[in-house]
Amino acid sequence: MKTIDELLAEGVAGKRVFVRADLNVPLDGTTITDDGRIRAVLPTVAKLAEAGARVVVASHLGRPKGAPDPAFSLAPAAARLGELLGADVAFATDTVGESARATVAGLADGQVAVIENLRFNPGETSKDDAERGAFADRLAELADVYVGDGFGAVHRKHASVFDLPARLPHYAGYLIATEVGVLKKLTTDVQRPYAVVLGGAKVSDKLGVIDHLLERADRILIGGGMAYTFLKAQGHEVGSSLLQEDQIPAVQEYLRRAEEKGVEFVLPVDVVVAPAFPDLKTKAPAHPTTVAADAIPAAQMGLDNGPETNKLYASKLADAATVFWNGPMGVFEHPDFADGTRAVAQALVDSPAFSVVGGGDSAAAVRILGFDENAFGHISTGGGASLEYLEGKTLPGLAALED
């Protein structure tokens, strides 16, 4: 795929450059609680603006129902982008309507605009090729060149990700080029031992990547809500913990295959439990206790890895040469259940391994828990995209950037 450096060498002064970014930031009302994804696209936007391009930034945010919804407006993200750039950023209140056309037409060389949430138009996410294509046609009218830099969306066959690049000269931005380069280090010529840490709520979200990693990883550490389905598959009671009963046969098969292939599966040996899921707004004390992983009481819910598990996992990561981590080890948003996630992050900081934090909640946890992002090899902006890449799937947004 062609890169932004090739585009810059060709010259962009006076050209309208459409940058498909990922500004899908978490909001508390209109307050951005984690601006990592905005900062990730900053190098691409800043470089284009410095070179005299008229930059049109577009993104989705959340899952509106194909119609305008103030709760999902990109206005806060546009304001934050302007703060980070140190320049005014114009904001269009629609995607391809009168405001978008006027805003783009009003740009001077080196100026930046953000158009409203792409998912306010049903054509963005439509499964109908014609409807998606019609929306892409209207987006194409706003630009002369396309730069794909929204890695968190490249696994989606959406109009701005898949269809629009076919209508304009297209290039990969700095973020996508970096993400793909990093993920190649996890799939080709991997430095070993190769350890993978998987957490998060549901086993079903990770089935494909577990299947793929059984052929590649040396050890797989399991935490988070998905751990309880693994523990149940081993015959242990898990109380009221999150459980996907229908996934137990698949998990048992993975455990069997892992033993057959010599891949080490590491499960919690103790867990932190509480009578109910904690209140994440008030952060009220949740009355946690620690129990053995094979002795969870019937009325208790597992919500984090215990201290012995944290030591075990740190030891399993200490000698790794490559580590991929996707998914928190517990309900890290509550202080009573953050230690497991903190322990994994600290183990990666302490390890000489090339470490990749695979986006989503893991990336948010690293920042929320106060870790220096530069202490990790790479923090991805796309959890789902990273997982699908590691599964060996063709990602529509990357395929669209290929020539």
Bond prior to 76 in cis (omega within 30° of 0): no
Is 202 a catalytic site residue?
A: yes
Encoding tokens for residue 121? 């138009």
DSSP 111-151: -EEEE--GGGSTTTT-S-HHHHHHHHHHHHTT-SEEEE--G
Quick check: is 11 catalytic? no
**Which amino acid is it at 66?**
G
Of the residues 200, 239, 384, 397, only one is catalytic, namely: 384
Which of 15, 16, 20, 37 is an active site residue?
37
Q: Give how far Cα 274 sits from Cα of 126, 244, 333, 382, Å.
A: 42, 19, 15, 31
How far apart, in whole angstroms, are the C-alpha atoms of residue 403 and residue 241?
Answer: 48
DSSP secondary-structure letter at 334?
S
Sheet holding 170-172, edge to edge: 89-92, 112-115, 54-58, 16-20, 145-148, 170-172
Using a 10 angstrom Cβ sphere, with 0-12 exposed, 13-18 middle and 19 or more buried, the burial of residue 86 is: exposed
Catalytic residue among 101, 202, 216, 311: 202
Distance CA 118, CA 111 (A): 21
State the Cα–Cα distance between residues 315 and 229, nearest whole angstrom. 24
Closest-CA residue to 67 (of 116, 138, 121, 114): 121
- Cα–Cα distance for residue pair 179/375, rounded to 1 Å: 17
- The CA distance from 329 to 342, in Å, is 9
* CA atoms of 180 and 20, how far apart (whole Å): 16
Is residue 238 helix, strand or coil? Answer: coil
User: Could you say which of 148, 327, 360, 397 is catalytic?
Assistant: 360
Active site residue 360: yes
Q: Is 397 a catalytic residue?
A: no
Catalytic residue annotation: 37, 202, 360, 384
